Amino acid sequence: MTENKWESYVRKVVPYTPGEQPKNNNVVKLNTNENPYPPCPSVRELLDKFDVSQMRLYPAPDSEILVNAIAERYGLKSSQIFVGVGSDDVISMAFMTFFGSDKPVLFPDITYSFYDVWADVYRIPYKTCPLNQDFTINPDDYKTENGGIIFPNPNAPTGVLESVEMIEDIVKSNPDSVVIIDEAYIDFAGDGTSCLPLIQKYNNLLVVQTYSKSRSMAGMRIGFAMGNEKLIKYMNDVKFSVNSYTMNTVTQLCGAESMKNEKYFTETVNKIIKTRERSKLRLAELGFRFTDSKSNFIFASPSKKSAQYIFSELKKRGIFVRYWDKFVICDYLRISIGTDNEMDRLFNALEEILNG
């Protein structure tokens, strides 16, 4: 095809490839770290009561109801909360807002695969820091000159949790950079693992969480950032320069409703943690090596057959896990934690594949 002149001005990027969303409902979907349980039951009641004629009006641009519900749950002021269309929207907005230096932004070499994509699309220089052999972070790597720091905790796709003390050390060592901790999976890591309390002490720390995992609402697209009021105001200024109305009315209401039901949330999270720990035992029996995941997935390396082979054999049997054909992590499968029944289907299939 001939190239038109206007194409020379086009922002050319290698787009991120999301995990497959198979349309067949019969599959066991353990490939995108979704929650196997539905959102809290009162969300259905909320939809029943929702006055559809409200759809004709623009949503509240400040997402007040949603922001207030999050603030109340975490004991923060509403001015310390930023909401977006999933944590991808929140973090991408944070890249645009905070990473305007010409020094490189630092993140691990094995991590959430969107960070380098955002850096590329916004033309932000970056440098990746190699993880240790056991997939832990070396804090010294983050004490060199930089234009910002980001990593998930627990890390993805490894599931490895770093301590609050180690994160505080990094935040404290970098008063001139914004440090973003992406806590997408923190609710599966147990009490006292979130570095949220540190935002009251350090004005350069932004903590990002999401409704997509522990809150069973990946389909509604809600992420949020928590930080000091100055950080949040800067993000809102940029956000309001791109799109005033990103959070639709139904999403705002469903998100606020589900944030109120702490009992359901805790029960669901605990069920997943229990299934995760049981799954670790079974995977060990099947000869897998894996990190001690504190998230809702296990990053596991098989011993008898290759990860790629097992990935495609599972797929033939209607079981989807995540596999990356990339150096180091190509020996691993990332397996999301489903229901006990789904995990049993997985283990039966693995037995068949490994002993077949």
Chain positions 91 to 150 lying near a second copy, rule: CB under 8 A, are: 92, 96-101, 117-118, 120-121, 147-148
**Residue 288 in tokens:** 């897998």
CB of 232 to a second copy, least distance (A): 12
**Residue 244 in tokens:** 């005033």
Binding mask 16-35 for a second copy (x = CB under 8 A): xxxx-x-------x--x-xx
The candidate with the shortest Cα–Cα distance to 258, out of 227, 235, 226, 224, is: 224
CB of 152 to a second copy, least distance (A): 17
CB of 320 to a second copy, least distance (A): 12
- Contact with a second copy (CB under 8 A) among 237, 267, 351, 352: 237
Applying the rule CB under 8 A, the residues between 194 and 233 that interact with a second copy are 203-204, 212, 216-221, 230
Residues 83, 139: Cα–Cα separation, whole Å: 29
Q: Tell me whether residue 180 or residue 283 sits nearer to a second copy (CB atom).
A: 180
CB of 35 to a second copy, least distance (A): 5
Q: Tell me whether residue 1 or residue 281 sits nearer to a second copy (CB atom).
A: 1
- Decide if residue 177 touches a second copy (CB under 8 A): yes
Q: Tell me whether residue 228 or residue 293 sits nearer to a second copy (CB atom).
A: 228
Applying the rule CB under 8 A, the residues between 35 and 54 that interact with a second copy are 35-39, 43-44, 47-48, 50, 52-54
Residues 81, 228: Cα–Cα separation, whole Å: 9
Contact 141, 106 (CB under 8 A): yes
Applying the rule CB under 8 A, the residues between 279 and 318 that interact with a second copy are none
Burial of 8 (C-beta count, 10 Å sphere; 0-12/13-18/19+): exposed
CA 318 remoteness from chain centre: 25
Residues 226, 80: Cα–Cα separation, whole Å: 6
* Total residues at interface with a second copy (CB under 8 A): 90
Applying the rule CB under 8 A, the residues between 312 and 351 that interact with a second copy are none
CB of 316 to a second copy, least distance (A): 22
Residue 127 identity (one-letter amino acid): K
Q: Tell me whether residue 146 or residue 279 sits nearer to a second copy (CB atom).
A: 146
Strands (E), 13-66: 28-29
Contact 82, 96 (CB under 8 A): no
Sequence-ordered alpha helix ranges (H) in 130-190: 164-173
